Amino acid sequence: MRRLVPVAAALAAIAAVAGGGAFWLRNSPVAVTALQPETDLPIRVFGLGTVEARVLSRTGFKVAGTLDRLDADHGDLVRAGQTLATIDAAEQQARVAKARAQVASAEAGLKVAEAAARKAEATHRQRMQTNRRRQSLLERQSVSQEAAEESQANEAIAGADILVTQSEIAVARAKLDDARAQLAQDLAVLGQHELKAPFDALVVSRAKELGAVVGAGETLFTLVDPATVWILAYMDEARAGGIAVGQPAEIRLRSLPQTTFHGTVTRVGIESDRVNEERRIYVSCADCPKEFHLGEQAEVFVTKARLARALMVPEKAIARFDGQTGLVWTVRDGRLAQVPVRFGHRSHDGRVELRDGLPAGAVVPAVVGAGVREGRAATVEGPRG
């Protein structure tokens, strides 16, 4: 029993020392380094995107047919109006020839009707003169009443013949207009057997080979205007506020990750992605390679602001952060305390601008370690910011 007394005393002493050490660790002043303000700080927004083209056309024939000529292929540069391909047009050419013949026939019919009208007018003038003479002779009783009436009837018949020939001319002109319209339609369809480039373009792909049958409206060529290639980037709506057309951007292509290219925001999408809550940002590139690959992944950093001087706090060091306000640890008068502050811009690297609310004389620790609590003593090492 006497041997147990010294052992118990020793254990009690050790416990007392340990407890005192723990108390000292919990209550001794903690050393912190003050967060330093930064100058000329760019605020960048990051987004993933792909290489796209503003002007892209999937073009093909309006009519079905068999390809009998191909004048363009993948990688070719074509000019606006240049022939890309043709389909067999023998049947349509026959329709055009028939339509031309119908136009010629209608023109001849119109000439016949016009000649008949001139003849009817001449006959009417002759019978009108004859009628006048006979009516004059009738007054002098030099001709019978029956002959005078017959002459008057002949004049009326000749006048009616003029009206008939005028109607025949109208019918002939209508037939000619119809024939010409049919010819124009057949010529238009014949023109649809030749596929032309709608603009200066690069051929991205060709879907058919010579001799293949293509359907009406089926895509044969995919064309893009190389001058309209841009990057479509998707950026978090929570960070995309303030992005505007004309702002500078940096681009990194997946195939050239070590190279940074320079661009400009060309368009800010009006409609956002409802599922991913991202805004569509279109960026044109000033110095990207001439050879592009549609759909290639790209990283985009848009500089939407530049701060002359700012204190940037890591988001993970902010409590109750709602995008505008939150709590940060500060050291003031040698004591730790959490204070509510307001925030401004958010950077792409997970930091937020502390805009206002910081008490006078207080500093924000650059790193907040374990064991911090309200009122604990703290010492600031280095510059105080």
Print pLDDT tens along the chain (385 aa).
455 555 555 555 454 444 444 444 456 788 888 889 999 999 999 999 999 999 999 999 999 999 999 999 999 999 999 999 999 999 999 999 999 999 999 999 999 999 988 888 888 888 788 877 777 776 777 777 777 677 778 778 877 888 888 899 999 999 999 999 999 999 999 999 999 999 999 999 999 999 999 999 999 999 999 999 999 999 999 889 999 999 999 999 999 999 999 999 999 999 999 999 999 999 999 999 999 999 999 999 999 999 999 999 999 989 999 989 999 999 998 899 999 999 999 988 889 999 999 998 899 988 877 778 888 998 888 676 6
Where are the strands (E) in 269-296, listed by range?
278-285
CB atoms within 10 A of CB 207: 13
217: left (phi over 0), alpha (psi -120 to 50) or beta: left
Query: What confidence score (pLDDT) does residue 9 get?
Result: 53
- Tokens of residue 51, six digits: 């290489």
Query: What confidence score (pLDDT) does residue 25 get?
Result: 46
In 144-161, which positions are buried (b, 16+ CB within 10 angstroms) versus exposed (e)?
A: eeeebeebbebbeebeeb
Please tell me whether residue 376 adopts helix, strand or coil conformation: coil
Query: Where are the chain's structural domains?
Result: 45-54+224-307, 64-86+194-213, 90-191
Phi, psi (rounded to 5 degrees) for 258:
-85, -10
How far apart are the C-alpha atoms of 149 and 135, rounded to whole Å? 9
Query: What confidence score (pLDDT) does residue 161 get?
Result: 82
- CATH superfamily, domain 45-54+224-307, is Efflux pump adaptor protein, beta barrel domain (2.40.30.170)
Tell how strand 30-33 and strand 378-381 pair up.
parallel
